[in-house]
Structure 1
Amino acid sequence: MASRNFYFQLILRVLLITLTAIFLSVSVVKEWYFSLALAVIMLIAQTYSLISFINSTNRKIAYFFDAIRNEDFTLRFPERVTIKSFKELNQSLNRVNGLIQEVHLQLQVREQYYQEILKQASIGILTFNDKGHILYANPTLEKLLNYTPLNHIKQLAQIDEKLYAIFKNFQPFERKMIQLTNEREQIHLALKSTPITFDNQSLLLVVVQDIHKELDEKETDSWIRLIRVLTHEIMNTITPITSISESILKYYQTPAGLVLPEQLDENKLSSTAKGLEVIKNQGSDLMDFVQSYRSLLSVPKPDRELVKAKKLFEKVQVLMQLDASAETEITWQFEPEDLELFIDEKQLTQVLINLVKNGLHSLEHTKGGKLMVTAYTDKKGTKTIEVKDNGPGIPPDILEDIFIPFFTTKEKGTGIGLSLSKQIMHLHGGNLKVFSRPNVETSFVLSFYGKL
């Protein structure tokens, strides 16, 4: 409505100027000098009035947008004016100003709400730009690092040079772990980065979490499960030794004392020899068990180099030819063709052989068994190898136990293959995870997070 009245007044003023110009022309032709002077004065006055009329509206709108840009919502336009179009325009501008002020207040309340959440969060949160300037660091992060205020990532070098090196070279979607030591305590921090864009500026959001408590709980739980497995294995070996030793001892000892040589018969001597042979075998098994434990603890540091996935797969294929069953379909895939992995070739060959053997073993009684070994780069840019089969799978109740040293479900298994494989992956700066849906799909995923 205000816009319509504005146009009516504008058209009326233009018509008056046009009529005045016509009157001026007639006065010139007729040589009406008095009328000519009057027409000139009227034309000047009407032109000035038109310009003022348009400029007054433009100035109001310009003031309005300047006030909005400066977040000044105190500007009010007078609504008691004689010109109806101006009155309606002022009312509209005041109404829009009120709505924008209401939205602005709501945004401020919401921003304060989010700020409070970030302040009270139990994890550290930090954002910085490509020049290293820290735009935001919540109190939890400053408390974790025992440093305030944080303005630039170079300040992290004063806390720990390794911490600064991580932030300096942090890439999007990377995960890092670091241990910090100060005069008060020792803390383990897990760091995860995520790229974000704010106000047309590329930033890196880093979440920092103290996982010392979680590590302690996990370590305790791991020790309990390891001791349970070790106790089971040792007791299985020692129990027959104790039982046979007691039986043999009865042949040579009575309540009255030792048995005389002439009281021994051939059956007792034969049983003694057999019993000692069993004790010897059990002792050898126990020695092998301890030796396997020693081998698990002495995995050498990886001698890493860039190896093409294709070359690695071809090597494992050759080594697995004798184990492969004609009834099981094995597929080897890698994408892209020239995919390279920064690995110790010998150690990763050992890991893949172990995983493929486990897969083939699980498919022994599966009709139409399929085993697929795939190398690729996932959506986060992590280079990955996946060994997947459609066998019976792993029961949920033992899924968490399969990486415990010496835990095995095989009759002739040692129980160190998967735990050794996981340790090798950790030494490579990666991880080994398992996912299983019984009788549908079981996959072991090797993830290489970077050149650590």
Structure 2
Amino acid sequence: MIFRDYKFQIVFRLGILTLLGYGLLYYTFIDVNYIRVFFLGIFSLIVLIALFYYLIRVHKLTSSFLDAILNNDFTVKYPEQHENKSIKQLFRKFNLVNERFSQSIQEQANQYQYLLALINQLKIAVVAFDARERVHVVNSAFKELVNEKEVIRMSSLKSLSPHLYKEVISLEPNQQKVVKAVIGNTTHQFSVAASIFKLRQKQYTLVSMQDIHSELDQNEMQAWQKLIRVLTHEIMNSVAPVVSLSGSLESIVQSTNTNSFEENKKTLLEGMDAIKVRSQGLMNFTQAYRKLTRVPAPNLKEVEVSKFLQPIETLFRQSLTETDIKFTVQANGNANLLLDPDLMQQVLINLLKNAQEAVKSTNGEIRLTYNSQPDGQTTLIVSDNGTGIPEEIADQIFIPFYTTKTEGSGIGLSLAKQIIQQHGGQLTFETSNNGTSFYIKL
């Protein structure tokens, strides 16, 4: 509407100038009348000045409005009561644009304040900085960590702990690690994670830091308590019968004379044999403990998935087929894996044996699957359709020496998890009444 009025004003004035121009030509060269030429010339000059003034005025108003926008000044109010209808409508649109911009800026400011309030409530230290290590966003937890009211640059963290600063600055995108740092006279352990984002063609690094020292201490204490409880149980199971039996044999020997020796000889031999069996069991237990605490470092090699899985498939297919258990190996892709083939095959063999023992029905099925994700993460899955792991023991299956088997050592899953962790991966599981799946994520 504005542009139509504006265009009308211009066309109207140009139309008058055109008519006046024709009149000047007519009375100058055809019907010569210098008086009329004089007055038409005056009128043409007035109309031309009015047109020029109108164009200059609209240009100045528009230029002033655009300058205010470029300077982020949206507080200017233009008078909407004006004798010129076009200028009036132009002012109304200017005010509407300013109002929309003001609302948008206010909404952005509200969202920013909401974001700051949100991250300030976090107990995790959060900081965002640019390539020059200039801090743009920081929460209260980070300020408390570096003990500064205002954090301008990442050098504040460097003053607190050069080692922690170095680890944070060197973090790769989407990387997470645990960093140990000494602050004052206290040792802290921080879980540190980083991500990268771009804003207005500039790259920023967002880092979160959480002191998990107390949580790690608590988890470590709980792990030791569980381990000591299992060790005590296993040792007492072996030592108590030996002590009791030794006392009984001692009583028999003390009460035995030459005449009754042959009668008690059988009892003595049986007792000593029982002591030997329990002692051997205790020796096996300590050897298993030694094996658990001396897992060799992985000798990483790049191996092809199909070649890596082939020996395991050959090893288990015959024995599982004989027990009417369907065994399926599926590799979704044939990428190369960086791992220790011997250690990783030991893990898979252990998981497959557990799956074999869990499947008891004639319709038993075990699957070994390999999946590759677009982000580069690979997953090996061992699944069965057994009865699943009981809920009451599910959180204890990775505890060393914990077992529900009569002849099990209880180190299989614990050893497997330790090997996977040495590869920088994770060993997790899902279980239900319809079966169990173990996931090796590398």
Fold-level similarity (TM above 0.5): yes
Partner of 2:316: 320
Matched residue type, 1:430: G
Matched residue type, 1:312: F
Partner of 1:446: 440
CA distance in 1, matches of 2:242, 2:159: 60
CA distance in 2, matches of 1:95, 1:139: 39
CA distance in 2, matches of 1:376, 1:167: 33
Equivalent position SS for 1:373 = strand
Deviation at 1:283, TM superposition (A): 0.8
Deviation at 1:264, TM superposition (A): 2.7
- Do residues 271 (structure 1) and 261 (structure 2) align? no
Q: Which moved more, 1:156-165 or 1:133-142?
A: 156-165
Partner of 1:90: 91
- Residue by residue, what CA displacement relative to the aligned partner does 1:33-78 show, whole Å, maximum 9, x if unpaired? 3333433443343234334324433433333233233221232223
CA distance in 2, matches of 1:244, 1:432: 43
- Residue 144 to residue 384, structure 1, CA distance change in 2 (3 Å): farther
Runs of 5+ consecutive residues of structure 1 not aligned to the other structure: 253-257
Matched residue type, 1:23: G
CA distance in 1, matches of 2:352, 2:88: 83
Partner of 2:302: 306
TM-score by length of 2: 0.88
Matched residue type, 1:334: A
CA distance in 1, matches of 2:147, 2:423: 31
Q: Is residue 407–residue 416 contact of structure 1 (8 Å, CA) maintained in 2?
A: yes
Q: Is residue 298–residue 339 contact of structure 2 (8 Å, CA) maintained in 1?
A: yes
- Residue by residue, what CA displacement relative to the aligned partner does 1:251-301 show, whole Å, maximum 9, x if unpaired? 24xxxxx32414635443212211211111011101110110011111122
Equivalent position SS for 2:327 = strand
Partner of 2:246: 245
Q: Which of 312, 329, 332 is the matching residue for 1:332?
A: 329
Matched residue type, 1:31: V
Deviation at 1:208, TM superposition (A): 1.9
Matched residue type, 1:428: H
Matched residue type, 1:35: R
CA distance in 1, matches of 2:35, 2:436: 106
Partner of 1:56: 57
Deviation at 1:143, TM superposition (A): 4.6
CA distance in 2, matches of 1:132, 1:404: 44
CA distance in 2, matches of 1:12, 1:194: 62
Aligned residues: 439
Q: Is residue 335–residue 377 contact of structure 1 (8 Å, CA) maintained in 2?
A: yes
- Do residues 290 (structure 1) and 279 (structure 2) align? no
Runs of 5+ consecutive residues of structure 2 not aligned to the other structure: none
Deviation at 1:309, TM superposition (A): 1.9
Q: Is residue 131–residue 204 contact of structure 2 (8 Å, CA) maintained in 1?
A: yes
CA distance in 2, matches of 1:158, 1:379: 39
- Residue 261 to residue 108, structure 1, CA distance change in 2 (3 Å): same
Q: Is residue 256–residue 264 contact of structure 2 (8 Å, CA) maintained in 1?
A: no
Deviation at 1:156, TM superposition (A): 5.2
CA distance in 1, matches of 2:116, 2:238: 61
Partner of 1:342: 338
- Residue 13 to residue 349, structure 1, CA distance change in 2 (3 Å): same
CA distance in 2, matches of 1:367, 1:128: 61
Map 1:162-311 to 2 at 5 A.
Answer: 164=166, 167-168=169-170, 170-171=172-173, 173-252=174-253, 258-262=254-258, 264=260, 266-311=262-307
Equivalent position SS for 1:126 = strand
Equivalent position SS for 1:413 = coil
Q: Is residue 145–residue 159 contact of structure 1 (8 Å, CA) maintained in 2?
A: no
Equivalent position SS for 1:325 = helix
Equivalent position SS for 2:396 = coil
Q: Is residue 161–residue 182 contact of structure 2 (8 Å, CA) maintained in 1?
A: no
CA distance in 1, matches of 2:165, 2:329: 40
Q: Which moved more, 1:56-65 or 1:381-390?
A: 56-65
CA distance in 1, matches of 2:109, 2:164: 38
Partner of 1:386: 381
Partner of 1:255: none
CA distance in 2, matches of 1:309, 1:193: 31
Q: Is residue 160–residue 183 contact of structure 2 (8 Å, CA) maintained in 1?
A: no
CA distance in 2, matches of 1:436, 1:356: 15
- Residue 93 to residue 120, structure 1, CA distance change in 2 (3 Å): same
CA distance in 1, matches of 2:35, 2:260: 162
TM-score by length of 1: 0.86
Q: Is residue 168–residue 207 contact of structure 2 (8 Å, CA) maintained in 1?
A: no
CA distance in 1, matches of 2:172, 2:374: 18
CA distance in 2, matches of 1:228, 1:431: 26
Equivalent position SS for 2:292 = helix
Matched residue type, 2:172: F
Equivalent position SS for 1:15 = helix
Matched residue type, 1:292: A
Deviation at 1:218, TM superposition (A): 1.2
CA distance in 2, matches of 1:50, 1:331: 88
Equivalent position SS for 1:445 = strand
Partner of 1:23: 23
CA distance in 2, matches of 1:122, 1:397: 33
CA distance in 1, matches of 2:389, 2:84: 84
Matched residue type, 1:302: P
Q: Is residue 146–residue 156 contact of structure 2 (8 Å, CA) maintained in 1?
A: no
Q: Which moved more, 1:424-433 or 1:57-66?
A: 57-66
Aligned identity (percent) is 30
